[in-house]
Amino acid sequence: MKIAFFSDIHANLPALDAFFQDIDKVQPDALYCLGDLVGYNVWANEVVEAIRKRRIPTIMGNHEEALLLPTEENDRSNRGITGRLLTAENKHYLMNLPRHLQLDFETNGERFRFLLVHGSPKAVNDYLVEDYPESEITEMMNAHQAQVVLCGHTHIPYHRTIKTGIDYMHVVNIGSVGRPKDGDSRLCYALITLDENFSKHNPNAIRVEFRRVSYEIDTAVKAIEESEFPDEYADLLMQAK
């Protein structure tokens, strides 16, 4: 079974369009979004509507969480600009997204759980970086009885395997579709394949492929430069920082 996970689109419609074109080629069995649909660019409504049109299961990111806070009418922050761009209907959708999702699989009588979060199991805005303390990761995952945690937020992809006794846990940061920060400006998402006999005792129970796809980044950069958003966002997008 192949499952695609993507996150952190950040209102970058050209990147999302290229992502969907690649998804249509790959044809995964399932598709999940880990939040941060908006922020940093102008296509907030178009991105939300594309996700809703495809009925993609989606969780809340920190940029959606920020919309829960009141803003002044003339707020020039990223949150303030984004809030003014969004329609009332799309804002309501974003503000009511779930904080996490669980996917439970079973083979040979053994349950295998994926936990989908934006930041970490602890908080939407927690940075689950690659060198996050192992003891804290295992504690969080044990609390949810999860063997795999999928996250975004840092915009830097990695796959980390943790051995706990005879079992193995996996942390997969799926990177960012709309604003990568690992020096590679191409969009990034994760395609995970489950072994037919997946087990928590098998370190190779899941196979992770980070797919990188080029898109019309110049269009995204120009849109920022012609908007209320700071030009700095355009520079960071080009530099993938």
The predicted structure's pLDDT at residue 134: 96
CB 232 within 8 A of CB 225: no
Residue 160 pLDDT greater than 90, yes or no = yes
Q: Which residues, in sequence order, are bridge partners of residue 206?
A: 194
pLDDT bin (cut points 50, 70, 90) of residue 228 is: very high
Residue 226 pLDDT greater than 90, yes or no = yes
| C-alpha count within 13 angstroms, C-beta hemisphere, residue 126 | 15
Mean pLDDT of 3-20: 98
The predicted structure's pLDDT at residue 198: 82
Between CA 227 and CA 170 the distance in angstroms is 40
Mean pLDDT of 33-39: 98
Q: Could you tell me the residue range of the domain that residue 234 belongs to? A: 2-239
pLDDT bin (cut points 50, 70, 90) of residue 1 is: very high
Residue 158 pLDDT greater than 90, yes or no = yes
91-103: pLDDT as tens digits: 999 999 999 999 9
Residue 33 pLDDT greater than 90, yes or no = yes
Neighbours of 202 (CB within 10 A): 13
SS3 readout for the chain: CEEEEECCCCCCHHHHHHHHHHHHHHCCCEEEECCCCCCCCCCHHHHHHHHHHCCCCECCCHHHHHCCCCCCCCCCCHHHHHHHHCCHHHHHHHHCCCCCEEEEEEECCEEEEEEECCCCCCCCCCCCCCCCCHHHHHHHHHHCCCCEEEECCCCCCEEEEEEECCEEEEEEECCCCCCCCCCCCCEEEEEEEECCCCCCCCCCCEEEEEEEECCCHHHHHHHHHCCCCCHHHHHHHHHCC
65-115: pLDDT as tens digits: 999 988 776 788 999 999 999 999 999 999 999 999 999 998 888 889 999
> Average pLDDT of the chain?
96
* Number of domains observed in the structure of the chain: 1
Which residues neighbour 3 within 8 Å (Cβ) at sequence distance 6 or greater? 28, 29, 30, 31, 32, 103, 191, 192, 193, 194
Measure the CA angle with vertex 27, ends 22 and 29; round to 5°. 135
Neighbours of 131 (CB within 10 A): 7
The predicted structure's pLDDT at residue 154: 98
Tokens at 3, concatenated:
């499952």
Residue 204 sits in a domain of what CATH number? 3.60.21.10
Between CA 213 and CA 133 the distance in angstroms is 31
| Amino acid of residue 156 | I
175-223: pLDDT as tens digits: 999 999 999 999 999 999 998 778 889 899 999 999 999 999 999 999 9
The overall pTM is greater than 0.85? yes
The predicted structure's pLDDT at residue 214: 98
